[in-house]
Amino acid sequence: MQSMNISLPDPLKQFVDGQVAQGRYSSASEYVRELIRADERRKTEEQLETKLLEGLNSVESKLTPEDWSAIRREALAKIEARKKRANGTGHEA
C-alpha cells in the first residue's frame, strides 16, 4: 500500500479525529479510504445513470448473441477489476 500525505485545516482535522474518537473508524486513514470509496461508488452510479438515460433516449435496436457475449465479458472484467481493487492487488490508470 502506498502512502499519501494530506494537509487539512484545523476544523477538518478535528472532524476527522472526532470520527475516529467515536469509534466509527480505526484511523484517519481508514476514514479517508472510506470517503474515497464512497465517492468512487457515487461516480460509478452517476455514469450508470447517464448511460441508462442515453439508452432510454436512443433508437431501439435488437441485440445479437454476440452483443450479449460482449456485454457479459465486459461486466465480468469489471467485476474482476473491482475485486482486485478491493483486495489491494489492482491498480487503476
pLDDT digit string, tens, across residues 20-73? 999 999 999 999 999 999 999 999 999 999 999 998 898 888 889 999 999 999
* Burial grade of 65 (CB within 10 A; 0-12, 13-18, 19 or more): exposed
Query: Is pLDDT of 93 > 50?
Result: no
Spell out the residues 6+ positions from residue 28 whose beta carbon is closer than 8 angstroms to its own: 16, 17, 20
C-alpha cell recorded at residue 12: 477538518
Which ranges of 1-93 does DSSP label H, i.e. alpha helix?
10-21, 28-57, 65-86
- Report whether 90 contacts 81 (CB < 8 A): yes
